[in-house]
A = this chain, B = another copy of it.
Amino acid sequence: MPKTEEQYKKMREDMRSKILEKSSLYFAKNGFGDTKIGDLAKYIGIGQGTMYMYFKSKEELFDEIRKCAENSEEIQGLMVLSKMPLPAEKKIEKISSEVVKRLAVDDRYAVKITILTQLMLEQEKGLYSNNLYKAMEKIIKQGQKEGTVVEGDPLYLADLYWGTVYLYALKKLFVADYKQVKEETLLRLLEV
């Protein structure tokens, strides 16, 4: 007797998530060209063919990973934070604290930051049109008015801030005994 429709659906969804998550870490560490599907499948712990039951091609898998990074809750959460009615100083503290905490414990968070940033770097239309950048730019402008953020081009500062976050995401992924970024360092980038 066959499994129920729902059971199947659940199993498929679980497997898809598993592949997506493990692959994103693997791709982030090894790059697209250096990742062999055979190795990736072995790393995930499934057969090569199974990959192709869930994704039409290596290319499509990679695209899906990108999409997931873009739509991830964690990133969306930061956007929300930036819109709350708080002094800029507090917003920056909250965001920085959140980022530092996440980066400390969660490889997947680092992967998302990494992929997202690399996507932005490769985009033709330029880094600075990105939402995360724009949100941070707003906060910085607010902070400059409130006198809690250093003077200077707000976009330049936003760029510096997220760039530094990217830097430590990379380190989390690549360096075994890396020195975790401290909240105080992120704050120093922006605050007077």
Contacts and interface: CB of A to CB of B under 8 A. Distances in A.
Interface of A: 30-35, 121-122, 124, 126-128, 150, 153, 155-156, 159-160, 163-164, 166-168, 170-171, 174-179, 181-182, 185, 188-189
A170 B31 contact: no
B155 A163 contact: no
Contact of A174 (B121, B176, B182): B121
Given A35-B33, A189-B188, A171 B124 contact: no
Given A164-B164, A167-B167, A188-B188, A121 B175 contact: yes
Contacts of A181: 160
Given A32-B33, A164-B163, A167-B167, A153 B174 contact: no
Nearest to A29: B122
A60 to B, nearest CB: 17
Given A155-B179, A177-B126, A179-B155, A121 B33 contact: no
A34 B188 CA distance: 37
Given A160-B185, A163-B164, A122 B33 contact: no
Contacts of A177: 126
A188 B150 CA distance: 11
A185 B166 CA distance: 17
A93 to B, nearest CB: 18
A59 to B, nearest CB: 12
B126 A176 contact: yes
A176 B124 contact: yes
A174 B175 CA distance: 23
